[in-house]
């Protein structure tokens, strides 16, 4: 059964068609990488998948419900229950400690639980920095806190928009390892990236161009083999 | 978590929050000060006005007819009956005994000077210790009833100056005597000369200017030798008349039992008069009404003015909170977007924001309350030279006002929260 089914989705910003008829199906436990040039609609698509926004037309079925016509509060409920976000800019609340940032997500989901939150930080190796404010953490550390926050409510889908865009090689590796771990645990991941090295780890690579799926000009889900070894050549094929 | 969140957010944004606090504090300072003052001003004005003299006069029941404010009866043919001196302590035994500021007996007679002029002598008490059951520090006398009489020289001391005298200004001018002089007077029926020691000269612009005020004992030497006085001036703290008091005045018998009890147990001038009549048989107690009536009108006007100023001040606070809340939301769009992305509903985010503002408002309210009480006492000291009694009832009122002010100020800006799109605020650098 598919986790998310996107059918003929169009998203317009005024005259700009950010997405122009997207069809996409994401399976439970699948890792999807979205690639494409700047302005091609990657973030827009991710926002729709994350129920942060609704499409101008088309349907997005999550858990058997079409969220395309959901109200703001209904969308919030879906986000709360099913989705974890990892941002390129981390978006940690500056005046809360790492621990409190994680607890904030718990708070909106159900109830803050300091032991669980601490456990989540320990799991990503940030246990000793729990009391630090974001400004006292390096970029990589902030992103790890962000990941801990995204995972704390055990979301069905993890969405990441260029999670390593602001990180150096070393931290990129750390974040990637964490994502791989999530994938291994069977979590569904959708990740936007410019970096083919990262996309390599995905089961599926989707390439966007001018708001359409670029796959030999045909609409549809571009699917690669599950093994990264096999994925690599097909990815190169996509890139050219 | 909520508490932690609120605290962290308050502390993080403390500069702006302290502006909000200050804003509300200023408004509530004024509100507290004016509220307490306007509740207290009745008492204070009353006390103040007591300085202008008696508001009740006790006369024998047979002495009727017009009364002048603080004036003395000029009719030499009036019946010589009076109020027994021995009944005076009872004035301090009525239900409103603590509202009796002071009283002074008056006994009138005439005497001749060496030059043959006839002067009106008024025997009274100036200022004497008069311990009564309710108050052993009580002092009675005309100096207590009329503390503000413009006096050159001084009030005589009842104990130290047995012949101490206060002259009306006109008498002093006619006879060319002043403080420090001795004025010999002779009873009209030709008794022994009494040497009056002039301590002060008073000018009230009324009948008192034509009188010679002497100790009651001296007046008895010059005239009547019994224990009756012509009248007693009473200065009492009273409450401005309300509807009940007006109805009681015109038709006391129409009051229901409960209304009567309320009236009797309120310090309306009529109720106090009525209670004095109850304890002094054969006496009539007349309110000198101009004072209490105009008092009520003035107080109502002042209270209205204060209410207007309070409303304006609180509106200004709300306006200040309005602009602060607006910029606060604009500056924290990212945070709001994040909360929404994490699954917070609009209501939840709004509630958090309003709780934060309300908390700041409450802090401001408490601060304003303290400042306001200070200001109120300051004004009270300046205007009345006395501490205002702070009404505890104003505390919850002002606390509530501060929250209401901060919430009204922030409700409209809070609607901006609805418009924050997490997809927009979270993408982009
Ligand atoms: N809120 C918005 N209002 C108007 N236009 C928008 C908005 N968001 C995106 N767009 C437009 O939609 C198009 C797709 O934007 P999107 O952010 O999805 O691109 P992207 O693939 O994420 O680019 P990048 O790699 O630079 O992040 C762009 O032309 C962009 O200008
Ligand atoms: Mg983007």
Of the listed ranges A90-99, B61-70, B83-92, the least confidently predicted one is: B61-70
- Asked if A106 and B2 come within 8 Å (Cβ–Cβ), the reply is no
- For residues B282 and B358, membership in a common domain is answered with no
Give pLDDT, residue B292: 61
A185-232 pLDDT, tens digit per residue, is 999 999 999 999 899 899 999 999 999 998 522 333 444 433 333 333
Cα B202 from Cα B210, distance rounded (Å) = 10
Cα B369 from Cα B21, distance rounded (Å) = 12
Give every CB contact of residue B242 below 8 A, 6+ residues apart in sequence: B268
Give pLDDT, residue B69: 42
**Which residue from B73, B52, B68 is spatially nearest to B230, judged by alpha carbons?**
B73
Per the DSSP assignment, residues forming a β-bridge with A7 are A59
* Calculated CA dihedral for residues B83, B86, B89, B91, nearest 10 degrees: -20
Q: CA nearest A75 in B: which residue?
A: B343
Give the DSSP H or E segment for A31. Answer: strand A31-35
Evaluate if residue B288 carries a pLDDT over 90: no
- Asked if B346 and A103 come within 8 Å (Cβ–Cβ), the reply is no
Cα B135 from Cα B392, distance rounded (Å) = 27
Evaluate if residue B174 carries a pLDDT over 50: yes
Provide the domain limits for residue B207. Answer: 55-287
Contact B184, B217 (CB under 8 A): no
- For residues B36 and B70, membership in a common domain is answered with no
* Gap from A111 CA to chain B (nearest CA, Å): 8
How many whole angstroms from A18 Cα to the centroid of ligand 1? Answer: 6
Show which of B287, B322, B347 is a domain's final residue: B287
How many Cα atoms are found within 13 Å in the side-chain-facing hemisphere of B281? 0
- For residues B100 and B204, membership in a common domain is answered with yes
Contact B329, B20 (CB under 8 A): no
Show which of B287, B311, B326 is a domain's final residue: B287
How many whole angstroms from A217 Cα to the centroid of ligand 2? Answer: 22
* Gap from B398 CA to chain A (nearest CA, Å): 32
Give every CB contact of residue B292 below 8 A, 6+ residues apart in sequence: B55, B238, B240, B241, B269
List A residues 26-45 in contact with B (Cβ-Cβ < 8 A). Answer: 43
Distance separating the N- and C-terminal Cα atoms of chain A: 32
When pLDDT is cut at 50, 70 and 90, the band that residue A238 belongs to is very low
Tell me if B426 CB under 6 Å of ligand 1: no
Tell me if A77 CB under 6 Å of ligand 1: no
Tell me if A11 CB under 6 Å of ligand 1: no
- Asked if A161 and B427 come within 8 Å (Cβ–Cβ), the reply is yes
- For residues B400 and B270, membership in a common domain is answered with no
- For residues B318 and B217, membership in a common domain is answered with no
Tell me if A43 CB under 6 Å of ligand 1: yes
Give pLDDT, residue B45: 73
Cα B281 from Cα B194, distance rounded (Å) = 34
Higher-confidence residue of B152 and A226: namely: B152
Evaluate if residue B216 carries a pLDDT over 80: yes
Alpha-helical (H) ranges within chain A are 42-49, 72-82, 98-109, 114-123, 139-151, 169-184, 196-199, 228-239
A chain contacts of residue B1, beta-carbon cutoff 8 Å: 103-104, 106-107, 111-112
| Residue B4 at interface with chain A, using a CB cutoff of 8 Å | yes
3-state secondary structure of B281: coil
- Asked if B345 and A161 come within 8 Å (Cβ–Cβ), the reply is no
| Ligand 1 atom having least distance to the Cα of B427 | 17
- For residues B136 and B77, membership in a common domain is answered with yes
Average pLDDT (B398-412) is 90
Higher-confidence residue of B252 and B201: namely: B201
Ligand closest in space to the Cα of A15: 1
Residue A45, φ and ψ in degrees, nearest 5: -65, -45
Of B12, B346, B422, the CB nearest to A52: B422
Cα B57 from Cα B70, distance rounded (Å) = 8
Give pLDDT, residue B299: 80
- For residues B274 and B392, membership in a common domain is answered with no
Q: Which of B4, B339, B343 is best to mutate for the A interface (most A CBs within 10 A)?
A: B343
How many whole angstroms from B417 Cα to the centroid of ligand 1? Answer: 23
Evaluate if residue A99 carries a pLDDT over 60: yes
| Ligand 1 atom having least distance to the Cα of B423 | 1
Tell me if A40 CB under 6 Å of ligand 1: yes
Give the domain ranges of chain A: 28-51+69-238
CA dihedral sign, ordered A102, A105, A106, A107 = positive
- For residues B17 and B85, membership in a common domain is answered with no
The residue whose CB lies within 8 Å of the most ligand 1 atoms, and thus the one to mutate among A11, A42, A52, A163, is A42
* Gap from A107 CA to chain B (nearest CA, Å): 7
DSSP code for B239 = B
Interface A-B: count of C-beta contacts within 8 A: 80
When pLDDT is cut at 50, 70 and 90, the band that residue A86 belongs to is very high
Of the listed ranges A51-60, A168-177, B376-385, the least confidently predicted one is: B376-385
Assigned architecture for domain A28-51+69-238: 3-Layer(aba) Sandwich (3.40)
Give pLDDT, residue B290: 64
List B residues 283-342 in contact with A (Cβ-Cβ < 8 A). Answer: 334-335, 337-342
Higher-confidence residue of B233 and B45: namely: B233
- For residues B404 and B307, membership in a common domain is answered with yes
Of A73, A77, A93, the CB nearest to B335: A93
Tell me if A73 CB under 6 Å of ligand 1: no
How many whole angstroms from A194 Cα to the centroid of ligand 2? Answer: 10
**Which residue from A157, A178, A216, A219 is spatially nearest to A26, judged by alpha carbons?**
A157
Cα B53 from Cα B35, distance rounded (Å) = 28
- For residues B27 and B60, membership in a common domain is answered with no
Higher-confidence residue of B73 and B82: namely: B82
By the 10 Å C-beta count (0-12 exposed, 13-18 middle, 19+ buried), B202 is classed as: buried
Of the listed ranges A152-156, B34-38, B208-212, the least confidently predicted one is: B34-38
Evaluate if residue B70 carries a pLDDT over 80: no
- Asked if A91 and B334 come within 8 Å (Cβ–Cβ), the reply is yes
| Residue B426 at interface with chain A, using a CB cutoff of 8 Å | yes
- For residues B163 and B79, membership in a common domain is answered with yes
A115-169 pLDDT, tens digit per residue, is 999 999 999 889 999 999 999 999 999 999 999 999 999 999 999 999 998 899 9
Give pLDDT, residue B224: 63
Of A50, A96, A108, the CB nearest to B344: A108
ipTM: 0.87
- For residues B82 and B38, membership in a common domain is answered with no
Show which of B266, B287, B308 is a domain's final residue: B287
- Asked if A50 and B341 come within 8 Å (Cβ–Cβ), the reply is yes
Average predicted confidence (pLDDT) for chain A: 87
- Quick count: other Cβ atoms within 10 Å of Cβ B163? 17
Cα B381 from Cα B399, distance rounded (Å) = 25
Average pLDDT (A34-45) is 93
B306-364 pLDDT, tens digit per residue, is 889 999 999 999 999 999 899 989 988 999 999 999 999 899 999 988 988 888 889 99
When pLDDT is cut at 50, 70 and 90, the band that residue B234 belongs to is very high
**Which residue from B3, B44, B8, B9 is spatially nearest to B329, judged by alpha carbons?**
B9
Average predicted confidence (pLDDT) for chain B: 86
**Which residue from B412, B402, B406, B408 is spatially nearest to B329, judged by alpha carbons?**
B412
3-state secondary structure of A213: strand
Structurally, chain B folds into a number of domains equal to 2
When pLDDT is cut at 50, 70 and 90, the band that residue B249 belongs to is confident
Give pLDDT, residue B64: 55
């Amino acid at each position: 059964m598919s986790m998310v089914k996107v059918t003929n989705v169009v998203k317009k910003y005024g005259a700009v068609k950010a997405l122009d008829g997207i069809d996409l199906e994401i399976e439970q436990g699948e890792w999807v990488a979205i690639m494409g040039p700047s302005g091609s609609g990657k973030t827009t698509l991710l926002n729709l998948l994350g129920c942060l926004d609704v499409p101008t037309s088309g349907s997005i079925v999550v858990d058997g419900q079409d969220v395309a016509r959901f109200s703001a509060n209904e969308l919030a409920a879906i986000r709360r229950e099913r989705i974890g976000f990892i941002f390129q800019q981390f978006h940690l609340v500056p005046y809360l400690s790492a621990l409190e940032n994680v607890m904030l997500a718990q708070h909106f989901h159900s109830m803050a639980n300091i032991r669980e939150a601490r456990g989540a930080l320990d799991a990503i190796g940030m246990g000793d920095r729990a009391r630090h404010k974001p400004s006292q953490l390096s970029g990589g550390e902030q992103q790890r806190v962000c990941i801990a926050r995204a995972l704390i409510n055990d979301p069905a889908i993890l969405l990441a928009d260029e999670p390593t865009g602001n990180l150096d090689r070393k931290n990129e590796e750390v974040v990637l390892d964490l994502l791989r771990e999530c994938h291994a645990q069977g979590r569904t991941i959708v990740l936007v990236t410019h970096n083919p090295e990262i996309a390599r780890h995905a089961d599926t690579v989707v390439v966007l161009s001018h708001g359409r799926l670029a796959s030999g000009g045909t609409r549809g889900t571009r699917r690669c083999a599950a093994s990264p070894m096999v994925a690599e050549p097909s990815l190169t094929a996509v890139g050219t | 978590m909520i508490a932690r969140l609120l605290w962290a957010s308050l502390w993080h944004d403390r500069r702006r929050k302290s502006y909000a606090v200050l804003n509300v504090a200023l408004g509530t300072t004024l509100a507290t000060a004016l509220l307490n003052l306007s509740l207290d001003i009745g008492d204070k004005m009353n006390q103040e006005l007591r300085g202008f003299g008696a508001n009740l006069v006790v006369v024998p029941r047979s002495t009727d007819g017009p009364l002048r404010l603080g004036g003395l009866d000029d009719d030499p043919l009036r019946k010589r009956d009076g109020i027994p001196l021995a009944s005076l302590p009872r004035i301090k035994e009525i239900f409103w005994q603590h509202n009796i500021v002071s009283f002074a007996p008056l006994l009138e007679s005439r005497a001749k000077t060496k030059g043959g002029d006839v002067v009106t002598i008024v025997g009274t008490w100036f200022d004497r210790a008069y311990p009564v059951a309710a108050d052993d520090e009580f002092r009675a006398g005309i100096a207590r009833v009329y503390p503000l009489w413009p006096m050159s020289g001084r009030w005589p001391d009842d104990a130290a100056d047995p012949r101490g005298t206060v002259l009306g200004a006109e008498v002093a001018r006619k006879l060319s005597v002043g403080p420090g002089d001795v004025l010999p007077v002779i009873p009209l029926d030709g008794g022994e000369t009494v040497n009056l020691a002039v301590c002060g000269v008073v000018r009230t612009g009324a009948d008192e200017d034509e009188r010679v005020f002497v100790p009651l004992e001296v007046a008895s030497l010059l005239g009547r030798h019994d224990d009756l006085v012509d009248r007693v001036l009473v200065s009492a703290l009273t409450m401005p008349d309300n509807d009940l008091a007006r109805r009681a005045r015109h038709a006391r018998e129409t009051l229901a039992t409960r209304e009567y009890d309320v009236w009797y147990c309120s310090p309306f001038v009529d109720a106090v008069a009525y209670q004095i009549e109850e304890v002094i048989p054969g006496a009539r107690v007349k309110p000198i009404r101009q004072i209490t009536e105009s008092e009520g009108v003035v107080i109502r006007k002042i209270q209205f003015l204060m209410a207007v100023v309070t409303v304006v001040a609180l509106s200004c606070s709300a306006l200040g909170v309005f602009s602060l809340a607006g910029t606060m939301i604009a500056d924290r769009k990212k945070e709001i977007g994040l909360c929404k992305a994490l699954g917070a509903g609009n209501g939840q985010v709004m509630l958090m924001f309003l709780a934060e503002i309300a908390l700041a408002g409450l802090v401001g309210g408490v601060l304003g309350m303290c400042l306001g009480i200070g200001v109120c006492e300051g004004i009270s000291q300046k205007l009345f030279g006395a501490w205002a009694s702070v009404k505890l009832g104003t505390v919850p009122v002002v606390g509530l006002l501060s929250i209401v002010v901060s919430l009204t100020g922030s409700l409209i800006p809070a609607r901006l929260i609805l418009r924050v799109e997490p997809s927009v605020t979270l993408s982009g650098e």
